Structure 1
């Protein structure tokens, strides 16, 4: 387990959308057999830029769950976007990262901004690393989040466009997600897309 995923006391898990740990509670996922509480930074800390290193396969940035390890590998290879995320200090927390693909899926599933129907192509929504395990999306599920601040027009809402994950697909592509309808895809690494940083904390 990455050192950035710090041990937390055994407490009742805060509700989705609750302020916590420098951001907002987003869900729970498993990594290396341990449960992690996902925390998403506020909208004020959103960044935009290229994933970076188009044409180069970066070793160590292929995890679907280890956001921090992916981001550190990206930064070491020269990604300016990753370097900016690693430099964040939000509420005294400095272990922020670009979300890995399955971590990012939780951001959409639990904090979906729009009332639009979901995309149901291919394996959109399938997430064996979330707790509970994520099933394929239907047009109606997930619905718009009940957390008012994250609904479209709210202070913390995701924009209804594409966001980077830190999970690399190849030398030329990295995984992305559309926050209008949950379409999971990949884009050329030299595209400029948004990033909503995350951090995680071990839970008992």
Structure 2
């Protein structure tokens, strides 16, 4: 019998109109596998602070569950999370800010530039993606072949820092630089971009 959540096996970067955008990849959350959808430029949110410097939001610490993080951020009044939750794109209203590991999928699938990747520490390691993500090399991932997602393309990420919804501590949160893939943290009072995503069960 076919599972009620059965979907064809899509590939990262593939446009899936019936899911509202392009597949970033697959993430496993509490044993459930999901496809993570990037809506393109319609989901881009302007650079803003992650939140109040020094404010702890304990329920926004998941490295894989952006929906749970976003709910906690909305309750705390975080502007980007509220903006993401209010989006209506391609008939869907369940957009949220990606977690650290969901954000990594976005870079891996939609890298905008041809610059070398950061290969310091553990950039690219993604224990919750399916398959498990390995550390970047200088040239892997390479620039996306989709011209719409290449730098200055209509749907492209800026070569800049993007916030994840994952808080690291009371003063810093996770981010990823879409210039070279650097994964790390930034002071919550600094301004970074964000892009909303949605997910569907597999």
Determine the structure 2 residue equivalent to 1:57: 56
1:8 to 1:29, Cα distance in 2 relative to 1, 3 A? farther
Determine the structure 2 residue equivalent to 1:116: 115
Determine the structure 1 residue equivalent to 2:38: 40
Determine the structure 1 residue equivalent to 2:15: 18
Q: CA deviation at 1:50?
A: 1.4
Determine the structure 1 residue equivalent to 2:197: 198
In 2, Cα distance between equivalents of 1:17 and 1:148:
13
Q: CA deviation at 1:8?
A: 6.2
1:147 aligns with 2:143: no
Report matched runs for 1:118-133 at 5 Å.
118-133=117-132
**CA contact under 8 A between 2:144 and 2:150: conserved in structure 1?**
yes
1:145-166, Cα deviation, whole Å (9 max, x unpaired) = 1222111121111100100000
Determine the structure 1 residue equivalent to 2:104: 105
Q: CA deviation at 1:189?
A: 0.9
Aligned-partner SS, 2:70? helix
**CA contact under 8 A between 1:8 and 1:201: conserved in structure 2?**
no
Q: CA deviation at 1:54?
A: 1.7
**Structure 1 unaligned residues grouped into runs of 5+:** 1-6
Give the TM-score, by structure 2 length: 0.93
**CA contact under 8 A between 1:53 and 1:77: conserved in structure 2?**
no
Aligned-partner SS, 2:109? helix
**CA contact under 8 A between 1:51 and 1:190: conserved in structure 2?**
yes
Aligned-partner SS, 1:60? helix
1:108-151, Cα deviation, whole Å (9 max, x unpaired) = 01111110000001110001111111111110111111222111
Q: CA deviation at 1:45?
A: 2.8
In 1, Cα distance between equivalents of 2:116 and 2:184:
17
**CA contact under 8 A between 1:8 and 1:202: conserved in structure 2?**
no
Give the TM-score, by structure 1 length: 0.92
In 2, Cα distance between equivalents of 1:68 and 1:44:
19
**CA contact under 8 A between 1:22 and 1:41: conserved in structure 2?**
yes
RMSD: 1.4
